[in-house]
Amino acid sequence: MASADSQSASSSNETPEDFDGKAKDEAFDEFYTEVKAIEKHDSVLTSKLQIDRLNRPGSTYFNLNPYDVLQCDPDTPLADIKKKFRQMSILVHPDKNPDDIERAQTAFDAVSKASKTLQNEEGLKRCREIIDEAKVRVDEIIVTQRKKLKKEGKSQIVPEDDPEQYKHAVYVQTCKLFADLERLRIEKETKDMHERKRKAEEEEDEKERVATEKEWNKNFEESRTGRVDSWRQFAKQKKSSKKMKGTFRPPKPKLEKR
pLDDT at residue 225, as a whole number: 65
User: Domain map of the chain by residue range?
Assistant: 29-119, 125-222
Confidence check: pLDDT of 217 > 90: no
Q: Which residues, 6+ apart, have CB-to-CB distance to 76 below 8 Å?
A: 67, 84
User: What angle separates helix 47-54 from helix 78-92, to the nearest 10 degrees?
Assistant: 100
Segment 59-85, tens digit of pLDDT: 888 899 999 999 998 889 999 999 999
Segment 148-162, tens digit of pLDDT: 999 999 999 999 999
Q: What is the CATH number of domain 29-119?
A: 1.10.287
Q: Which residues, 6+ apart, have CB-to-CB distance to 157 below 8 Å?
A: none
Q: Is the overall model pTM greater than 0.75, yes or no? A: no
pLDDT at residue 82, as a whole number: 92
